[in-house]
Amino acid sequence: MPIDQAEATNQLKAETGKAVYVATVTPLRGRLTTTNGTATAAGTEVANSGGSTYASQDASAALGTPAAGSVTTTGALTWSNLPGATIVGIELWDSAGTPVRKRFGPLTASKTVALGDSLTMAAGALVLTQA
């Protein structure tokens, strides 16, 4: 998953001694998107309709321990009771009072879901890398 440009700048400022790193407020939350974001703009998060109760999921609990410049999910992530939608991506946001987007990326293949469906991302399906 690519890194959000604001987060990359935050890291570089800290690495070069230009500013103190603004730490991530955990847990990281996995948000599903119906349009993909870019390095500078968030995608469109799934919106509830028709009685759905979609909510972002705690991705921190599913992430393993970073090693050799990457970290992979060791547990599954499941979003339940989705609205009818075509899911194209996922974004990771922190849990600050005003959440900050950290990572974003497209799914390998878009997934069309009907009202009430669940979507599960298997362990190992989400990989964060340094580059």
In which domain, by residue range, is 43 found?
A: 5-129
Confidence of residue 131 (pLDDT cuts 50, 70, 90): low
Counting the structural domains of the chain, the total is 1
Please report, for residues 9, 14, 17, 31, 92, the alpha-carbon distance to residue 21 in angstroms, rounded to integers and kept in the order given: 10, 5, 9, 24, 18
For residue 111, what are the β-bridge partners?
87
Contact 64, 75 (CB under 8 A): no
User: Do 78 and 120 form a contact (C-beta atoms < 8 A)?
Assistant: yes
pTM of the model: 0.94
The predicted-structure confidence for 23-70, as pLDDT tens digits, reads as follows 999 999 999 999 999 999 999 999 999 999 999 999 999 999 999 999
Within 8 A by CB and 6+ apart from 40, the residues are 4, 5, 6
Question: In this predicted model, what pLDDT tens digit does every residue of 68-79 receive, in sequence order?
Answer: 999 999 999 999
Inter-CA distances, 38 with 13, 57, 99, 103, Å: 21, 21, 17, 10
